[in-house]
Structure 1
Amino acid sequence: MAQAYLFVHFREKTTPDGEQVYFDISRDGFHWEAVNDGAPVLWAYYGDKGVRDFTITHSIETGKYYIFATDLSLSYGMRNQYHNSWDEIGRNGSKYFSVWESEDLVNWSDQRLVKIGDDDFGCLWAPDLIYDKENGEYVLHWSSSHAANDYGPKKIYYSTTKNFVHFSAPQVLYEKEDSGVIDSAIYEENGVYYLFVKSESNPAKIILLRSDHAAGPYVRMESFDESMKDVESGLYEAPTAVQLDDSRWCLFLDYYGVPGAGQGYVPFVADSLASGKFVRSDASFSFPYGYKHGTILPITEEDYERIKNQDWSDHGYQ
């Protein structure tokens, strides 16, 4: 049975409505349409009162869907408690993730805040979830600075959970010797795990690594570096990918080389993750507006229709 797709993301706006939860749907993974007329479907009322960098998963263990997000509002916070300083956000930003859960993708719980680790962590950025088949648990991973190196270059950390309530103590999943790393995304193909991550320098690009285990160790794939050689440095982040019905993979990289609404995802396509060879494919895709840092979830046709036909007008401000 053919699958459809749900894209959970935010929008790059200077007003608070941009840093909320947006849904868009697609029947083929190429042509996307806005849910709720392009307005948020969920709002953050706790923590920083803004959310970014989403991941969504369907738990084999609990049967529920979970959205995890960075607890951060630049719209409010950059001007206010963070004093226009990215460094201050990195050190003093939220030690929590914002979480919603649902059984049907339309009726969602209230936002809750989940603390991972202790106060030695800086801001917890860009959560992502992968099911670890080997150990029967979910690996939650993210990027953060830490007091151990005076909040210097970021590393990718991870914690495991089975019920999305209790989480193991964080450990390092991946660190790069010559630069910080952020925006991790892990996918499994034929029993091998593939880690996309943004290297902050050397190169200032997305890199791809592979491992036989969800929590590593990961080894870099030079074939991906070669396929990305013409992609400009320092302009792309937030990799997210999805496997299509025909087994091809679509990789989306978030372009931030211009201010405001010109930002958003750019698509690349590969026959397999194992090949590491992605080809830029802008002309094959259409989006109603620029999607920022999110995750795609394969869904059923029934899910697609339920999301499309849902009255979202009671799900926050319009």
Structure 2
Amino acid sequence: MTERYGYLMVHFVEDSHGYREKVHLSISRGDDPTAWDRLNGGEPILASSMSTTGVRDPFLLHRPDTGRYYLIATDLRVFGADEAGWSVWGSEYSTRMNVWESEDLVTWGEQRQIDVALGPDGMPDPAAPHMGMMWAPEALWVDEYDADGGAFVVYWASAGADGRQRIIWGATRDFTQSGWLTGGVLIDAPGDVIDTTMIREGGRTYRVTKDNGTARGLFMEHSDDARWWLPEATWTQTQIHLGAGYVGGDPGLVEGPALFRVHREDLWYLLVDVIPDVGYRPMVATDLDAPEPWSEVAQADFDLAPATKHGGVIPLTRERYDALRRADAAAVVQVHVATVRVEVGADEASVRAALPATARARLHGGGENDFEVAWNLDGLDVAEPGEVVVEGRLLGTLGANRDDWVAADGSRRWDAEGKVPRASRALAVTATVRVA
């Protein structure tokens, strides 16, 4: 049986003086859900080079039948970007969803986007509700979504034609535009509602949502309907003003909730985002069906870096936990790792075989680990005797992901043309190739 161990949090970091609206990861300190370490030295592991170049409200998903991981997020950059302002950002702005995929939570593929306002053919769906933007996407996997099997039911906040913010839903199996199914309205309240998060326990679905219209603040509901996303599903409200005690009773100053269950216990955490820059504060429950299940936790009993903002938490296995810790490389132990000898006229395969396959790096959490090296042999000339220094990049580290970009003209403007993603924190080593 696979051992459940540890938790991984995806989030962004509030920084009004820098470009931190990227994907950050924090990991639990061992199996303790109350103590967290930022991975990659606190630096981001992924950045958006598309559309607004912003990544807010990231969320992690695991597809149970394939084992694939998906990371989805809001396409919005607030600092150093389009100066339209919140009135525009929250009414008629980007309806795109940032998407990345991974097999192991360490190495992430290329970024793509889904326009949730469009159908699988890339054209507007006349049956879909009006969508003015796409904020804070999350999803739950449903085993029997339709006759073709399971699918993710995705939900996010969007403004209707009247400017009022609602929670909308859609469905997908692969988070591609061609596999996207537009849905309908999930939550429609008298005022604006945003930031829904959900969890399923024992056939019941629980959700926490931010109400900006009727002063409920963060409020919790539950439903026993198996198809909880459809209009006929019935929801019962159980608690309001969640987390307001952290801000002197003002329910408007907490948002971005995240729910997760503790391994092997009837114990749940609800993280609430205290705005603008305090970040997550915890609430705890031992019975989700209690009349008011959530209570606040003393700050001293929860160790999380400040300004850790709106994201999500997934449970890990011991194997995944250890792999993430081993991938958290800080610096190479030795920059120049070898001098190798090849014959004049040697082919590329012979040169690669002579070079070290791995290099050692120190880890942020202590200790060392060996990583595969990808050697760059472009321009290497072995036609004549001599020495050439070649460079290699370490693979399989968190810092090897594309965490930055540069435009074709070298510009860093958010709206510059020709942006090229890059891994600015990839670790490099060198070796000398002696041709003789």
For normalisation by structure 1, the TM-score amounts to 0.90
Higher relative contact order (CA 8 A, sep 6+): 1
C-alpha distance 89-210 of structure 1, shift in aligned 2 (>3 A): same
Residue 242 of structure 1: aligned partner:
260
Deviation per CA, 1:107-129: give whole Å up to 9, x if none. Answer: 10111111112474211000011
C-alpha distance 267-228 of structure 1, shift in aligned 2 (>3 A): closer
- d(CA) in 2 for partners of 1:225, 1:288: 26
Q: Given the alignment of the two structures, is residue 205 of structure 1 paired with residue 205 of structure 2, yes or no? A: no
- d(CA) in 2 for partners of 1:220, 1:91: 28
1:131-142 equivalence runs, <5 A:
131-135=141-145, 136-142=150-156
Unmatched runs of 5 consecutive residues or more in structure 1: none
Give the deviation of 1:89 after TM superposition. 1.2
C-alpha distance 172-48 of structure 1, shift in aligned 2 (>3 A): same
1:181-200 equivalence runs, <5 A:
181-200=193-212
Residue 109 of structure 1: aligned partner:
109
Residue 33 of structure 2: aligned partner:
29
C-alpha distance 235-218 of structure 1, shift in aligned 2 (>3 A): farther
**Do the aligned partners of 2:219 and 2:241 also contact (CA within 8 Å) in 1?**
no
- d(CA) in 1 for partners of 2:63, 2:160: 30
Q: Given the alignment of the two structures, is residue 308 of structure 1 paired with residue 325 of structure 2, yes or no? A: yes
**Do the aligned partners of 2:280 and 2:307 also contact (CA within 8 Å) in 1?**
yes
Write the letter of the residue equivalent to 2:273. D
1:140-219 equivalence runs, <5 A:
140-147=154-161, 149=162, 152-165=163-176, 166-176=179-189, 178-211=190-223, 212-213=225-226, 214-216=228-230, 217-219=233-235
Identity %: 30
Give the deviation of 1:77 after TM superposition. 2.6
C-alpha distance 220-299 of structure 1, shift in aligned 2 (>3 A): same
Write the letter of the residue equivalent to 1:175. D
Q: Which has the higher strand share?
A: 2
Q: Given the alignment of the two structures, is residue 281 of structure 1 paired with residue 291 of structure 2, yes or no? A: no
1:78-117 equivalence runs, <5 A:
78-79=82-83, 82=84, 85-117=85-117
- d(CA) in 2 for partners of 1:228, 1:265: 10
- d(CA) in 1 for partners of 2:47, 2:241: 40
- Once the two structures are overlaid, the 10-residue window that deviates more, 289-298 or 205-214, is 205-214
Write the letter of the residue equivalent to 2:206. Y
SS of residue in 1 equivalent to 2:260: strand
Give the deviation of 1:34 after TM superposition. 0.9
Give the aligned CA root-mean-square deviation in angstroms: 1.9
Write the letter of the residue equivalent to 1:312. L
Give the deviation of 1:295 after TM superposition. 0.3
Give the deviation of 1:218 after TM superposition. 4.3
**Do the aligned partners of 1:267 and 1:285 also contact (CA within 8 Å) in 2?**
yes
Q: Given the alignment of the two structures, is residue 251 of structure 1 paired with residue 264 of structure 2, yes or no? A: no
Give the deviation of 1:47 after TM superposition. 1.5
Q: Which has the higher helix share?
A: 1
Give the deviation of 1:73 after TM superposition. 0.6
**Match 1:13 to one of 12, 15, 18:** 15
**Do the aligned partners of 2:243 and 2:272 also contact (CA within 8 Å) in 1?**
no
**Do the aligned partners of 1:265 and 1:290 also contact (CA within 8 Å) in 2?**
yes
**Do the aligned partners of 1:131 and 1:138 also contact (CA within 8 Å) in 2?**
yes
Unmatched runs of 5 consecutive residues or more in structure 2: 119-123, 125-129, 328-396, 404-423, 426-436
- d(CA) in 1 for partners of 2:251, 2:218: 9
Write the letter of the residue equivalent to 1:109. G
- d(CA) in 2 for partners of 1:307, 1:97: 26
Residue 125 of structure 1: aligned partner:
135
C-alpha distance 157-227 of structure 1, shift in aligned 2 (>3 A): closer
Matched positions, count? 305
Deviation per CA, 1:276-312: give whole Å up to 9, x if none. Answer: 4111013321013321000001011221121122133
- d(CA) in 2 for partners of 1:10, 1:298: 19
C-alpha distance 306-17 of structure 1, shift in aligned 2 (>3 A): farther
For normalisation by structure 2, the TM-score amounts to 0.66
1:263-302 equivalence runs, <5 A:
263-275=278-290, 276-282=292-298, 283-302=300-319
C-alpha distance 234-78 of structure 1, shift in aligned 2 (>3 A): farther
Write the letter of the residue equivalent to 1:303. R
Moved over 4 A (4+): 226-231
SS of residue in 2 equivalent to 1:17: coil
